[in-house]
């Protein structure tokens, strides 16, 4: 079974370079240096016009923690509607409780609002107190996948936990390893975790905001070639 490669970007030019390099899905964000925030509607629309692979857009109203106020939650609802108008294929979001659990109720409401768009629960998951309980909570929300480094600084460091999460999720949810993945370690992560999808922003290889899109394309291609050899 082939392994899907998702690449996070903050410009249309980077998205196009990623697709040329072999990315099969794009995570579209603003401000990747802050971990990714909701991009504006114009960027979503331009990406949809030019990028011909699935695009999942970040829904995150601000940097910092993932415990959101009522007004921030309403902004997330509005941003999901914006993503639907822009014909995105999915959204990426996450809400936690003050007790470091998944906010199941409000996340489920956003998942339902987003339909028929797919939902990824993002790396807020890595702040959950118990990742295995957290996985069950994410599954209860109806989110299709969870992006995680296994609670570590990066996926290579959390590889054992990631493998256990993939096994625990079975067919109920897609565990998407991400964080610190580059061409030098992607094969190890893929083989050890047995994940069906891999996420990378190549932040460890390229500085966010630089405009060497040929270099970015080449680095994505290296990831894609490595993943092709893993199957």
Whole-number pLDDT of residue 206? 55
Of residues 138 and 214, the one with the higher pLDDT is 138
- 57, exposed or middle or buried, with CB in 10 Å at 0-12, 13-18, 19+? buried
The whole-model pTM stands at 0.95
- In this predicted model, what pLDDT tens digit does every residue of 33-83 receive, in sequence order? 899 999 999 999 999 999 999 999 999 999 999 999 999 999 999 999 999
CB proximity list for 11: less than 8 A, separation 6 or greater: 43
User: Quick check: 146 and 138 in contact, CB under 8 A?
Assistant: yes
- DSSP label of 163: H
CB proximity list for 200: less than 8 A, separation 6 or greater: 5, 6, 7, 8, 178, 181, 182, 186, 220, 223
- In this predicted model, what pLDDT tens digit does every residue of 139-181 receive, in sequence order? 999 999 999 999 999 999 999 999 999 999 999 999 999 999 9
Looking at residues 5-9, what average pLDDT do you find?
97
Is the domain covering 4-219 a CATH 3.40.50.720 domain?
A: no
Whole-number pLDDT of residue 210? 59
Q: List phi, psi (to 5°) of 65.
A: -75, 180
Q: Where are the beta strands (DSSP E) in 134-227?
A: 145-148, 174-177, 197-200
Provide the 3-class DSSP secondary structure of residue 132: helix
What is the residue extent of each domain of the chain?
A: 4-219
- In this predicted model, what pLDDT tens digit does every residue of 186-226 receive, in sequence order? 999 999 999 999 999 987 555 555 568 888 999 999 999 99
Whole-number pLDDT of residue 230? 87
Looking at residues 116-133, what average pLDDT do you find?
98
């Amino acid at each position: 079974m082939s392994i899907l490669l998702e690449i996070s970007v903050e410009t249309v030019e980077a998205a196009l370079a990623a697709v040329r390099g072999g990315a099969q899905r794009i995570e579209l964000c603003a401000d990747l240096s802050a971990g990714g925030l909701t991009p504006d509607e114009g960027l979503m629309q331009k990406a949809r016009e030019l990028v011909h692979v699935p695009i999942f857009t970040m829904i995150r109203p601000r940097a910092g923690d993932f415990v959101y106020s009522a007004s921030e939650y309403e902004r997330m609802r509005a941003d999901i509607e914006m993503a639907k108008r822009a014909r995105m294929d999915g959204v990426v979001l996450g809400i936690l409780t003050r007790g470091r659990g998944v906010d199941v109720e409000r996340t489920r409401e956003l998942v339902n609002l987003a339909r028929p768009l797919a939902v990824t629960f993002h790396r807020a998951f890595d702040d959950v107190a118990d990742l295995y309980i957290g996985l069950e909570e994410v599954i209860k929300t109806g989110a299709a996948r969870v992006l995680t480094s296994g609670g570590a600084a990066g996926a290579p460091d959390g590889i054992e936990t990631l493998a256990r999460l993939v096994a625990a999720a079975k067919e109920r949810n897609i565990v998407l390893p991400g964080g610190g993945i580059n061409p030098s370690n992607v094969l190890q992560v893929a083989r050890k975790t047995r994940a069906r999808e891999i996420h990378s922003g190549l932040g460890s290889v390229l500085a966010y905001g630089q405009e060497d899109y040929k270099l970015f394309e080449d680095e994505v291609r290296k990831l894609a070639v490595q993943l092709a050899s893993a199957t």
